Structure 1
Amino acid sequence: MSKLLYITANPKNDIKLSKGMQIGEVFLEEFKKEQPDVEIERLHLYDMEIPEIDMDLLYARAKLSFMGYTKEQLSEAELTKLEKMHALADNFIAADYYVFVTPVWNLGAPSILKKYIDNLFIVEKTFTNTPEGPKGLLSGRKAIHIQTRGGIYSTGPMMEFEMGDRYLQKVFEFLGFERLETVVAEGMDHFPKQIPEIMAKAKEQAAEAARIMAKLPVTL
């Protein structure tokens, strides 16, 4: 049985209030049609306790990586935060498919997404260092991003300013995922009267992306 990790980065915890999560639900429903036995785990980042890379985590990682310390020599705060970080990463690694749902905020994604991703970059767990540079250890897994945008970023003067999807695509690449094309619903603030059409198109794209992803074999 495969596992799909569904990750939402939006403080709105009611699907009726989030257009991105409405599109995400269409994706999940279509995916389940193709893989009825899939295990879906939902991570609503705003409901989670996510360690921040603060002084404790910085020193905990440094002490274990190159300062010659053992876990037993870490402070209680350092060890607690480090264990929470590894627990998040282990949960992430256990999945086969990944769906991220985020809005564009101030050119990028909500900061809580970066906070979560920071917990996934663990050497010899999600990537390794080689003579040719870092290499992701999560190859064979599939990932997709569903993004909502109030403005227009696919064309025109704002095209070079969108950093939310670009960031996630680089994360996918670094960790070794096979990534699918991003599903985008954009222009909803600029063209409020066209929201029904924009949403309908995005839901169609999400359904098609789900059918494609569900048929792609995962090789771990």
Structure 2
Amino acid sequence: MMKLLYITANPKGIEKSKGLQIGETFLNSFLEEQPKTEIKRIDLFSYDLAHMDADLVSARGKLAGYGYTMDQLTEPEREKIKKMRAVADEFAEYDYYVFVSPLWNLSSPAVLKAYIDNLFVSGKTFAYTPTGAKGLLTDKKAVHIHTRGGQYIGTPMQELESGDRYLKIALRFLGIEVLETIVAEAFDLYPKRVPEIVAAAKVQAAAAAKEMAKGTIMI
């Protein structure tokens, strides 16, 4: 059975969030192609995450480069690194990933960055090799559904956008194939066109879902 992890970073809820509405269209279309897919939803605004504070940074360094064992960590270090590894372990179990996030202040909501931080676990999601770091999450596919109030595509603002750009870089670093970004933007510039923009994004999302669902994942 295929497994899909649906990760959202929007506190508005589906009634107010255009991105979450587009995301539902994606899921429905995906299930039409792969009805037996197991789907888990993660709302990052209500998800228990370890954050990169002094304890977690120290624990990672001790375990990765200084030869410490888990038992030699302080209790706060041990608690937080275990929480981080649990997030990475869960993530690695899935075949498909759908991220739904808005662009806030040129980047993603902080909870999404915190989640990505938890996925960088040496030996689990990537490994250091003589030729550099290598992603271990191969044969997995991801899609990003991204909403923006401003207009970035084809404008001077495009080079300033770092939400979708960072997510793609991070996922590819981990070995994941990033198939597509479904972008719905310019809501604030053209408020009367919002239904039209959302409808177009839903069409794109449905097509992208079918394309991803038709792909073969080797297990």
**TM-score of the aligned structures, taking structure 2 as reference length:** 0.98
In 2, Cα distance between equivalents of 1:92 and 1:68: 26
- Is the contact between residue 97 and residue 143 of structure 2 (CA under 8 Å) also seen in structure 1? yes
In 2, Cα distance between equivalents of 1:177 and 1:66: 26
In 1, Cα distance between equivalents of 2:134 and 2:63: 21
Alignment of 1:186-201 (within 5 A): 186-201=185-200
Is the aligned partner of 1:54 residue 2:53?
yes
Shift of 1:88: 0.2
In 2, Cα distance between equivalents of 1:64 and 1:200: 49
Partner of 1:107: 106
Is the aligned partner of 1:169 residue 2:168?
yes
In 2, Cα distance between equivalents of 1:185 and 1:94: 29
In 1, Cα distance between equivalents of 2:70 and 2:107: 36
Partner of 1:3: 3
In 2, Cα distance between equivalents of 1:5 and 1:152: 29
In 1, Cα distance between equivalents of 2:155 and 2:178: 25
Partner of 2:218: 219
Is the aligned partner of 1:136 residue 2:145?
no
- CA deviations on 1:172-216 (whole Å, 9 max, x unpaired) are 210111111200001111000111110110000000000000011
The residue type paired with residue 145 of structure 2 is I
In 2, Cα distance between equivalents of 1:165 and 1:156: 16
Bigger shift: 40-49 or 61-70?
A: 61-70
Task: Give aligned pairs, total.
Answer: 219
The residue type paired with residue 7 of structure 2 is I
SS at match of 1:15: coil
In 1, Cα distance between equivalents of 2:67 and 2:172: 31
- CA deviations on 1:27-64 (whole Å, 9 max, x unpaired) are 00000110111010000000011100111111111111
Shift of 1:134: 0.8
In 2, Cα distance between equivalents of 1:70 and 1:136: 24
CA RMSD of aligned residues (A): 0.9
- Point out where structure 1 has 5 or more consecutive residues left out of the alignment: none
Partner of 1:127: 126
Alignment of 1:74-85 (within 5 A): 74-85=73-84
SS at match of 1:62: helix
In 2, Cα distance between equivalents of 1:63 and 1:178: 31
- Point out where structure 2 has 5 or more consecutive residues left out of the alignment: none
Partner of 2:41: 42
In 2, Cα distance between equivalents of 1:9 and 1:87: 19
Percent sequence identity is: 57
Shift of 1:11: 1.6
SS at match of 1:17: coil
In 1, Cα distance between equivalents of 2:210 and 2:218: 18
**TM-score of the aligned structures, taking structure 1 as reference length:** 0.97
